[in-house]
Amino acid sequence: MSTCPRIDWSDVRNIERQARPYLERMVMSGRLRQLLLASATSYLELCERNNGFTKLVLLADERLGVRVRLHMFDSHYADTPHNHRWSFGTIILSGYYEHVTFGSDKTGATASHTCREGTFYALHHSAYHAISVPRRCVSLMLRGPIEKPAALWFSPDRRRRWKQNGTPRADSSGFSRGSVKQLANWLIRELGL
């Protein structure tokens, strides 16, 4: 399982059918533990921390443009409605968050549900969503290839919008091999891996 699966990222049903078992096997087989232990040296330059949201890149298949990322959301993290530059599938490993999806006009929520440990969902890059995290939550994501140059974000009242071309690299400078190794070891204990 050293490479990422080939997925038709244009179809959310295909993402669900293929990404979920891939991520579940990664956790159950012990591969997630191995990737966490290697994360301090493998993809350190791709690790990021932004406003209560930590992203560890565990695997990157540059040929397919696909990445496996572990996300850790701090307590009380919340974002505003946005889409992504890529489609993805994600599974909650611990904790929970409220997940809200929006229609194409972004004026109101079309669905809201609680994503608890074991919940999996897939999202197309054109879909808008937002999350709210009551207390710390950890998820594992299989991210598809970049489909567009920027994601679109909206203010909470949806009156203001802005484009984001990826996470600012400045926030990755706080990571060192030691800090990522320490975080990886904590996650292994926290997740019981």
Please list, residue by residue across 12-44, b when 16 or more beta carbons sit within 10 angstroms of its beta carbon and e when fewer do.
beebeebbbebbeebeeeebbbebbeebbebbb
Judge whether 117 lies within some domain.
Answer: yes
**Alpha-carbon span 115 to 98, nearest angstrom:** 6
- Please choose, from the candidates 63, 112, 119, the residue with its C-alpha nearest in 3D space to the C-alpha of residue 95: 119
Q: Domains in the chain: how many in total?
A: 1
pLDDT at 170 over 50: no
pLDDT tens for each residue of 94-104: 999 999 998 76
Are 184 and 173 in contact by the 8 Å Cβ rule? The answer is no
**Alpha-carbon span 11 to 25, nearest angstrom:** 22
DSSP state of 172: G
Judge whether 56 lies within some domain.
Answer: yes
Sign (positive or negative) of CA dihedral 84, 85, 87, 90: negative
Judge whether 153 lies within some domain.
Answer: yes
Judge whether 5 lies within some domain.
Answer: no
Sign (positive or negative) of CA dihedral 44, 56, 103, 146: positive
Look at residue 154 and give its three-state secondary structure. strand
Judge whether 7 lies within some domain.
Answer: no
Judge whether 181 lies within some domain.
Answer: yes
Give percent of the chain with pLDDT exceeding 90: 63
DSSP H helices in the chain: 12-28, 31-42, 177-191
Domain that holds residue 158: 12-191
Q: Reduced to 3 DSSP states, what percent helix, strand and coil does the chain have, rounded to the nearest 5? A: 25, 35, 40
pLDDT tens for each residue of 119-152: 999 999 999 999 999 999 999 999 999 999 999 8
Judge whether 2 lies within some domain.
Answer: no
Predicted local distance difference test score (pLDDT) of residue 106: 56
**Alpha-carbon span 172 to 35, nearest angstrom:** 19
Left if phi > 0, otherwise alpha if psi is -120 to 50, otherwise beta: which for 97? beta
CATH number for the domain including 19? 2.60.120.10
What pairs with residue 113 in β-bridges? 99
Are 101 and 153 in contact by the 8 Å Cβ rule? The answer is no
Q: pTM score, two decimals?
A: 0.90
Which of 33-47, 133-147, 178-192 comes out lowest in average pLDDT? 33-47
